[in-house]
Amino acid sequence: MTKKLHIVSFNVPDPPNYGGIIDVYYKIRSLAQANIDIILHCFQYGRDTSSELEKLCHQVHYYPRKKGLLYLLSTSPYIVNTRRSKQLLENLQQEIVPILFEGLHTCYYLNHPLLGAFKKIVRTHNVEHDYYHHLALSEQNLFYKYYYKQEALKLRCFEKRLKRASAILSISPDDTRYFKTHYQMGDFIPAFHPFDKVETRKGLGEYILFHGNLSVNENQQAVRYLLDRIFTEITLPVMIAGKNPPEWLIQKAAEIPHVTLISNPDMEVMNHLIQHAQINLIPTFQSTGLKLKLLASLFLGRHCITNSPMVSNTGLSHLCYLADNIVDMIQLIQQKFEEEITTEEINQRKEVLENQFSNEKNAQKIYALI
């Protein structure tokens, strides 16, 4: 039976080339394949309209995201206050079918009386106030540090609107426990992603790879740690790949002869880099949500070396090698650079990833909810 669903997205989810937008795009694709007619509403900034989305969806609507310092003065979080539109509110009322709000970012109208008759589902990508608190801790720029602190406080207050949701779809087991504790709701739906099956290759790879969006503070903190403390202690070939690296990273990588920086690779190139690496080395210092780079490394890559915050409450720690200090990380790198991944390890990944993280199966869970 065909069902209909409004989806409100925080940005245009095509191309699917960073974090949460990957989850949104592949969720749309999987729900469309599950016989759901999607009415997509996108806040648009820095991205064009998408003919691909118009093929996947029943309708697509675009709304400009508001910008400016004036929106910082509101008691509403900036990421929410800049994503409101009277036209969105009017368009939602054209068909009384369930609404899926992608992220707390899009929930400005969650408790609006004109939407009282709608089933309202919220997809949480993080516990947002916790995420912004950690951004504040790691930020060096005083203006941004103050902004992140204020945003964390506003998000903590705004989050209480989730009481008006019909369901919360959380992205990690830890987040699920949080929302169940605070709002008596929480269905664990892992991140949607580009991978249908594990494609890990046998044999030895040629380099160590760190990958991620290099314009994001969290990834900058991780790669700075690797450049300062790890890559200067080894002589093995290293690749760093990701979007929009800052100037300091370009300069620092150039100072280490065995480190190569690849800026703004497209998805095909990035997947090739992940698949042909001997080690995907992807530590993080922010244990919030589920990192899509972890899924990419496990679906495509060989050995995955990370630290405890990356795998905390993901159910994936047993598929990785963990190192929480410099000595252990260097020892693991040197050991695994010479070892082939085993058939047993690949089969273990298939058992976990192709079931718990199956896009098709998780789309069916959402289908049942609406």
The domain locations on the chain are: 3-194+358-369, 208-340
- Which stretch of DSSP H or E encloses residue 99? strand 99-102
- Provide the pLDDT for residue 158: 98
Question: Do residues 222 and 212 lie in contact, with contact meaning Cβ atoms separated by under 8 Å?
Answer: yes
157, 80 contact by CB (below 8 A): no
∠ CA 238-240-242, rounded to 5°: 165
Which residue, among 310, 318, 251, has the nearest Cα to 281 in the 3D structure?
Answer: 310
Q: What is the model's pLDDT at position 283?
A: 96
Tell me whether domains 3-194+358-369 and 208-340 share a fold: yes
Fold classification of 3-194+358-369 is: Rossmann fold (3.40.50)
* Class for the domain spanning 208-340: alpha beta
- Cα end-to-end span (Å), the chain: 12
Residue 312: predicted pLDDT: 82
CB 220 within 8 A of CB 244: no
Q: How many CB atoms lie within 10 A of CB 347?
A: 10
Predicted TM-score of the model (pTM): 0.85
Q: What is the largest CA-CA distance in the chain?
A: 62
pLDDT at 313: 74
- CA angle (347, 358, 55) in 5-degree steps: 135
Supply the pLDDT for residue 267: 87
Residue of 19, 14, 15 whose CA lies nearest to 211: 19
> How many other C-beta atoms can be found within 10 angstroms of the C-beta atom of residue 266?
10
Interatomic CA distance for residues 321 and 280, integer angstroms: 10
Contact 3, 96 (CB under 8 A): no
What is the tens place of the pLDDT at every residue in 1-50? 789 999 999 999 999 987 789 999 999 999 999 999 999 999 999 899 99
The pLDDT assigned to 147 comes to: 95
Q: What is the pLDDT of residue 333?
A: 98
Contact (CB, 8 A) for 361 and 188: no
pLDDT of residue 1: 78
Q: What is the pLDDT of residue 26?
A: 97
Cα angle at 99 between 197 and 123, to 5 degrees?
50
Segments of the chain scoring below 50 in pLDDT:
none
